[in-house]
Structure 1
Amino acid sequence: MTAWVLGRHAMVGLNYGAPGQAARIAEQARREAGAGPSGAAALAAAVNARALAAVGDLPGARRAVNDVRTLAEQLDGPEAADTWFGYPAQKHAVHLSQTYTLLGDTRAAYQAQDDALALTSSPSVMTRALIAMDTPACLRIDGDPSAAVEMAAAVYDRLPPAYRNSLVHSRAQLLHRHLDGAPRRLLGDALA
């Protein structure tokens, strides 16, 4: 239970601009979860991978990705169930999408995005928008800032007003910070 609480707590820092703090808490959650495979251990490793990628610790993030992949492959039953305490394949793919995007590994990110969308059966506005916002970030990395801005603006424009100041907005702002010139202005206008 402690590992779950810490893993979820780490996500708050990760999602709201404190990835260094999130990495420290996720490491603590990972230790609390122990050596065996569990949903809590997988969540902690996934959050740690994202947080380390966000702070630029690429070797650490890659180690955490390997850790979470190994753990996720060993989960079954309630540990892999789509419940509060489970770590299902869909959540795994969502975490990998963001991690690979932050690592700049667009090929793996695009695959994780496809996997996440295929596994997202509910019409989750937030989940689908977060995955969709990873794609323009990858397009920018791949050298197509115009397509990145066009896609990001379209994703943001389709959001219901209640979601426009959410995590999706944070991801769009992160993309905005990595752009310059006309693409930066265009995305800034779309987010205003």
Structure 2
Amino acid sequence: MHLSQAYTLLGDTGSAHQAQEDALALTDSPSVMVRALLAVDTAACLHVDGDPSGAAEMASGVWERLPATYREGLIRSRAETLHRQLTGRPYALLGEALAS
């Protein structure tokens, strides 16, 4: 999971996607938080690859499905980092989700 984030931050989305798949394959039942963190990494990769709308939609969807008790700490930090990188409608969409 952490390797996914490292590759995402480096902008190496191909390696990030592989690390995300590997992280999910390493466990039979990944936790809610692991799945959410990996999905936010995938959303960040979408942004890096030139799809800010897809990134905002994916991150917003993950956020909205996440139980309220899980919406702090690392997951919030990663979602807010993505939010700061967006502009226009994608920025507004993710901002609305984060404010809920």
Q: TM-score, normalised by structure 1?
A: 0.50
> Residue type matched to 1:189 in 2?
E
Pairing partner for 1:107 from 4, 14, 17 = 14
Give the equivalent residue in structure 2 for 1:145. Answer: 52
2:37 paired with 1:130: yes
List gaps (5 residues or longer) in structure 1: 1-93
Alignment of 1:29-68 (within 5 A): none
Distance 1:125 1:134 in 2: 14
* One-letter amino acid matched to 1:164: R
Matched position secondary structure for 1:143? coil
Aligned to 1:191: 98
Counterpart CA distance in 1 for 2:24 and 2:13 is 16
Q: Which amino acid aligns with 1:181?
A: G
**Amino acid corresponding to residue 40 of structure 2 in structure 1:** M
Partner residue, 2:82: 175
User: Cα RMSD (Å) of the superposition?
Assistant: 1.0
Residue 67 of structure 2 corresponds to: 160
TM-score by length of 2: 0.94
For residue 156 of structure 1, what is the amino acid of its counterpart? Answer: W
Unaligned residue ranges in structure 2 (runs of 5+): none
Question: Per-residue deviation at 1:181?
Answer: 1.1
Aligned pair count reads: 99
> Whose relative contact order is higher, 1 or 2, with alpha carbons under 8 Å and at least 6 apart?
2
Tell me the equivalent position of 1:117: 24
The 1:116/1:123 distance shift into structure 2, 3 A limit, reads closer
Q: Offset at 1:125?
A: 1.1
Report SS of the residue matched to 2:9.
helix
Distance apart, 1:126 and its partner CA:
1.1
Query: Percent of pairs identical after alignment?
Result: 67
Q: Conserved in 1, the CA contact under 8 Å of 2:43 and 2:59?
A: yes
Question: Counterpart of 2:20 in structure 1: which amino acid?
Answer: Q
Instruction: Give the whole-Å Cα distance in 1 for the aligned partners of 2:43 and 2:18.
Output: 14
Shift of 1:112: 0.5
